[in-house]
Amino acid sequence: MMRQYELVDRVRRYNPDTDEALLDRAYVYAMRAHGTQLRASGDPYFSHPLEVAAILTDLELDDATIVAALLHDTIEDTGATKAEIEKLFGKQIADLVEGLTKIKKLDLVSKQAKQAENLRKLLLAIADDVRVLLVKLADRLHNMRTLKYVPQEKRDRVAQETLDIYAPLAARMGMQDMREELEDLSFRQLSADAYTSITTRVEELRERNGPLVEEIERELQDELSARGIPARVKGREKRPYSIWRKMERKAIGFEQLSDLYGFRVIVQGVEDCYRALGVVHMKWPIVPGRFKDYISTPKPNDYRSVHTTVIGPRRQRVELQIRTQDMEDIAEYGIAAHALYKDESGAQSIILSNESRAYAWLRKTIENLSQGLSPEEFLEHTKLELFHDQVFCFTPKGRLIALPRRATPIDFAYAVHTDVGNTAVGCKINGTIAPLVSELKNGDEVEIITSKAQTPPGAWETIAVTGKARAAVRRATRTAVRAQYAGLGRKIAERAFARAGKAFGEEALAKAMPRLARTSLDDVFAAVGRGEIKTDDLIRAVYPDWSAPRPDERGTGGRAPTGEGWFELKKGQNLKFKIPDAAEHPAAIPIRGINGDLPVRFAPNGGAVPGDRIVGILTPGEGITIYPIHSRELQHFEDAPERWLDVRWDVDELTDGRFPAQIVVTAVNEPGSLAQVATGIAERNGNIEGISMRSRSPDFTEMVIDLGVFDLRHLNGIISDLRSRAVVSSVERSSG
């Protein structure tokens, strides 16, 4: 813990006129007041106000602010009173501590009306004296730094509030460093996986690039000094949260991020900023559209700088911020930087001076309080001002959900609860049914319609803009796919045991799990479904004495067991299938949503259409391929009966989906025959998706036509139509 004299030293370093006796009194008073209280970390409680004070010495703030930091938790948590503090430390400090006490209990992630009221209170307390906000931000920063000691269930809430309210407030006040650290700490809590993945990749990149940043710094600095512009160049990596935001905003991956490094060029005067810009632009190619002049037009939080991006040293995309030291101070410390320039009347008047645009914003916002806005209107107004890159939506019960710009109801649903997201099937926006992919606007009231039978489509992963939704969709689809494989694996296993004439039992299988190196039956089945465990091995795990029949016992030239009713094949014969009667196979695997994101696909060339007899062929690691039973391709799988799956259509009668079918038309080689064929198909509402033609003889042309049809009847109708035409000599379906 920092000693009394250490704190005084830190203050004296930037403020030689500091009132040491005052600081000492506050140190002792707070230490005694907190007495033996402990923090969740087990540290003495007093270490917290002390750390908060230390953070504020980094911002080089005045004595009153440092003292208020030391005392900020005394009224709330100890026997101290405002009257006592006023007597000992004066009215100004007592007011600051009281202001901090007032806002301490404000819950800013509560219901909408309550939240509006709380935000109003927060801003009012800040308006009285903006130093309240500075202490509050330092307080929150220290709490976020020590978040790991806070009970798990509270952490998300604290982090969310920090990200929603305090980080944007710090940004509004121009306190860049404060904002970045608050954001990163919140991000680490709220999206731990994303945080780790980004920091790991940045780390890898740093190792790979070696001294790249230093080299660019040196080259820039040398170039500028050769042109007579003394400058300090400082490169740094972008912060994890800012990288994350960029990835989210642009929906790109880490590898596609082009500028992970930013370089600051600190020069001596405003004129030098522009001269330096000229030097950089002459030496290296400019990346268009990236030049911004915040010196002639400062940002609302007083930020001033010129920005540009060039393809710089070592062909790296280099983002530059060129500014003076004064501008740099404002950029880093924002409103707190104004405290650096004290005058006779003391820091208070400086901090409140109208020289700060950030403060002007605060004043204006507070003014709205007196304009009789309802709490909701006030909240809307203030939040819009605070968070221009977010949208605020509400649940039907009035809970506020803050989302990034371009968020969809899918993001909304996952923000409410993962279960809501996973079961979402539709939504109402402001009472009207709307697509789940709509872009949400500020103030939208969103009602999510859920259905227990739903699992999220994998495509949502690319539609959602929030990391939370994306991660949840990925998790849910992974689980769903796994469940399908497990279901599939179970059928395969049952069939394999039956074929081997062995009893199938879960208990026996459970005992065999160690031999299969799996820890649950689900695991076993999923592995069988994925083709990772062969059925022979599965049976042997349960019946070690069992041996698989040798290939020739399975039939010459690939004969499937006829008992299954699949097909018979003798060497030299053509493929001829005996179609299993559906009644014999009541446990057929249904193919749900065959065009969806199941690991199911159609065989290339010809596919299958509803009404076709079909079989599924399991390909380990890939999924199931659906073949029409007339496909010649099937002969390749004759030796692997365990890969054959009994599948059936599960297509709604009314579906308007089209399915791929391929036909081969042989037509007379004369002008207009193609047109006739095309007309025949069109008249029957068939879709031609591709045609290739080859000449069979001088008299006949063969056309291979890819069609989109609704079902077998539709296809047969087209085929008979074509066959009836004089120019057509034959029409057959492709046999794959």
Active site amino acids:
76-77
Say how far apart CA 355 and CA 334 lie, in whole Å.
Answer: 12
Q: Select the span of 68-76, 119-127, 311-319, 583-591 touching Mn ion (CB under 5 A).
A: 68-76
CB 9 to Mn ion: min, Å: 23
Q: Work out the angle at residue 686's Cα, subtended by the Cα atoms of residues 680 and 692, and round it to the nearest 5 degrees.
A: 75
* Positions in 372-411 near Mn ion (CB under 5 A): none
Nearest to Mn ion of 66, 410 (CB atom)? 66
Nearest to Mn ion of 89, 637 (CB atom)? 89
CB 92 to Mn ion: min, Å: 20
Nearest to Mn ion of 73, 164 (CB atom)? 73
CB 42 to Mn ion: min, Å: 17
Say how far apart CA 699 and CA 668 lie, in whole Å.
Answer: 6
Say how far apart CA 438 and CA 434 lie, in whole Å.
Answer: 7
CB 239 to Mn ion: min, Å: 24
Say how far apart CA 449 and CA 434 lie, in whole Å.
Answer: 11
CB 87 to Mn ion: min, Å: 23
Nearest to Mn ion of 36, 697 (CB atom)? 36
Beta bridge partners of 402: 392
CB 78 to Mn ion: min, Å: 12
* Positions in 72-101 near Mn ion (CB under 5 A): 73
Say how far apart CA 358 and CA 338 lie, in whole Å.
Answer: 11
Which residue lies nearest Mn ion, judged by its C-beta?
139
Whether the Cβ atoms of residue 686 and residue 708 lie closer than 8 Å to each other: yes
Say how far apart CA 719 and CA 699 lie, in whole Å.
Answer: 21
Nearest to Mn ion of 158, 647 (CB atom)? 158
Q: Select the span of 35-43, 66-74, 501-509, 526-534 touching Mn ion (CB under 5 A).
A: 66-74
Beta bridge partners of 166: none
Using CA of residue 309, residue 312, residue 315, residue 318, what is the dihedral sign?
negative
Nearest to Mn ion of 44, 404 (CB atom)? 44
CB 139 to Mn ion: min, Å: 4
Query: Among 112, 71, 107, which residue's Cα sits nearest to residue 88?
Result: 71
- Our measurement of the distance from residue 139's CA atom to the centroid of its chain's CA atoms, rounded to an integer in Å, reads 29
Nearest to Mn ion of 27, 649 (CB atom)? 27
User: Residue 385's CB: how many other CB atoms inside 10 A?
Assistant: 15
Nearest to Mn ion of 63, 73 (CB atom)? 73
Q: Total number of residues binding Mn ion (CB under 5 A)?
A: 2
User: What stretch of H or E contains 425?
Assistant: strand 424-429
Instruction: Draw the binding track, 123-162, toward Mn ion (x: CB under 5 A; -: no contact).
Output: ----------------x-----------------------
Nearest to Mn ion of 139, 164 (CB atom)? 139
Q: Select the span of 65-73, 205-213, 499-507, 574-582 touching Mn ion (CB under 5 A).
A: 65-73
Question: How big, in percent rounded to 5, are the helix, strand and coil portions of the chain?
Answer: 50, 15, 30
Say how far apart CA 634 and CA 217 lie, in whole Å.
Answer: 64
CB 332 to Mn ion: min, Å: 23
Q: Select the span of 69-77, 508-516, 566-574, 645-653 touching Mn ion (CB under 5 A).
A: 69-77
Nearest to Mn ion of 73, 223 (CB atom)? 73
Nearest to Mn ion of 50, 260 (CB atom)? 50
Nearest to Mn ion of 8, 137 (CB atom)? 137
Helix (H), strand (E), coil (C) string for 189-214: HHCHHHHHHHHHHHHHHHHHHCCHHH
Q: How far is CA 384 from CA 23, 392, 509, in A?
A: 40, 8, 60
| Residue 175: strand, helix, or coil | coil
Nearest to Mn ion of 73, 646 (CB atom)? 73
Whether the Cβ atoms of residue 472 and residue 194 lie closer than 8 Å to each other: no
CB 140 to Mn ion: min, Å: 8
| Residue 301: strand, helix, or coil | coil
* Positions in 318-357 near Mn ion (CB under 5 A): none
Helix (H), strand (E), coil (C) string for 57-93: HHCCCCHHHHHHHHHCCHHHHCCCCHHHHHHHHCHHH
Q: Select the span of 71-79, 218-226, 357-365, 586-594 touching Mn ion (CB under 5 A).
A: 71-79
Q: How far is CA 555 from CA 101, 291, 570, 641, 720, in A?
A: 86, 75, 8, 11, 38
Say how far apart CA 467 and CA 465 lie, in whole Å.
Answer: 7
Q: DSSP letter at 260?
A: -
Residue 62 found at the interface with Mn ion (CB under 5 A): no
Whether the Cβ atoms of residue 645 and residue 492 lie closer than 8 Å to each other: yes
CB 76 to Mn ion: min, Å: 8
Q: What are phi and psi of 465, to 5 degrees?
A: -105, -20
Instruction: Draw the binding track, 264-303, toward Mn ion (x: CB under 5 A; -: no contact).
Output: ----------------------------------------
CB 69 to Mn ion: min, Å: 9
Query: What is the residue whose two structure tokens read 């409140």?
Result: 352
CB 104 to Mn ion: min, Å: 7
Q: How far is CA 430 from CA 414, 427, 444, 571, 680, in A?
A: 18, 10, 6, 68, 49
Q: Select the span of 67-75, 252-260, 446-454, 555-563 touching Mn ion (CB under 5 A).
A: 67-75
Q: How far is CA 55 from CA 31, 126, 142, in A?
A: 18, 19, 8
Say how far apart CA 184 and CA 242 lie, in whole Å.
Answer: 8
DSSP 574-587: PPEE-PPPGGG-TT
Query: Among 322, 230, 316, 236, which residue's Cα sits nearest to residue 278?
Result: 322
CB 515 to Mn ion: min, Å: 58
**Token pair for residue 496?**
């394999």
Applying CB under 5 A, which residues contact Mn ion? 73, 139
